Structure 1
Amino acid sequence: MGQQLTAGDICKRKVSVAYQHTSVVAAAQLMREDHVGCLVVVEDANGSRQVRGLITDRDIVMSVVAMGLDPEPLCLEDVMSARLVTANEGDSLPELMRSMREYGVRRVPVVGANDELMGIVTLDGVLKILAHEMNLLVGSIDTSLKHERVRRP
């Protein structure tokens, strides 16, 4: 059996980020510009980007728009997810999936030493990997049928 995939193996390394004091409007504009549904909120410390939170398009809708609040004076620290779920680079794919299920999250920042941002894993990305693996299994069924027909015409 092959080596088990880790969060570090499957994470997207190019991550859209913002800061706690970024305005909600600027964050929404950045999401639109980058065609993403979330931003990892970071803080620059000692030459690295340390993860401090996560803001999603849903957070903005549920915490600002649906509440009828004016987004202009708000910044990300006012509305970002308080409960942050992260994965370490060495966490296995099954561990990562368990965390996503347990905490009900679709996006998980991947961190290295001292909570330094290394990448992000999304539910969409995990599903693509699993679909690929399932496709490989289906291919083995087709191959076994071909071998059967050759051995027993």
Structure 2
Amino acid sequence: MSLARFCRKTVAIIQPTQRVAEAAEQMREQHVGALVVVQDDLRPVGMLTDRDIVTRVVAERADATAVFVAEAMTCEPAIVRVDSSLDQTLFAFKKHGVRRLPIVDAQGRVAGLVSLDDVLVLLSAELDQTAAAVRENQGP
């Protein structure tokens, strides 16, 4: 199973030269807790989460209208490829200790975003279907 199923929704992105206040507004408007920070060619260069904003801007009492996304983001984000398997993706979550991974295409451009929650929902649905099949096949 590839990650293509997670590439159907528009990914919330932002440029590193934008301000953190703009990022926070975008997160609110799009109802997301993270933005993929991209270059002009849509290659990911970072991730900016609501936690990054709190710990690197608000807690430091910095002015969010003066701080650039590049100053608050987590650089060099862990990524997975569209053709990555679910096993590879789970390993990447564990290895990098993150809850969200940008998905990139063959050219390295953002194609989607997968969260640990997405994978857990998918796996629980698979387990539920498997359990139902087992129940249906029980004999008298």
TM over 0.5: yes
Percent pairwise identity: 32
- How many residue pairs get aligned? The number is 140
Deviations 1:60-93 (Å, cap 9, x if unpaired)? 0111112222222101000100241000111100
TM-score scaled to structure 1, two decimals? 0.86
Residue of structure 2 equivalent to 1:38: 34
**SS of residue paired to 2:134:** helix
- 1:90 aligned counterpart, secondary structure: coil
- What CA distance in whole angstroms lies between the structure 2 residues aligned with 1:12 and 1:122? 14
Deviant stretches of 4+, over 3 Å:
9-13
Match of 2:74 among 81, 86, 101: 81
1:26 corresponds to 2:22 = yes
Q: For structure 2, which runs of at least 5 residues remain unmatched after alignment?
A: none
Please tell me the root mean square deviation across aligned C-alpha atoms, in Å. Answer: 1.3
2:60 matched residue in structure 1:
67
2:106 to 104, 110, 113: 113
Offset of 1:12 from its aligned partner? 4.7
SS at match of 1:73: coil
Larger radius of gyration: 1
TM-score by length of 2: 0.93
Amino acid at match of 1:110: I
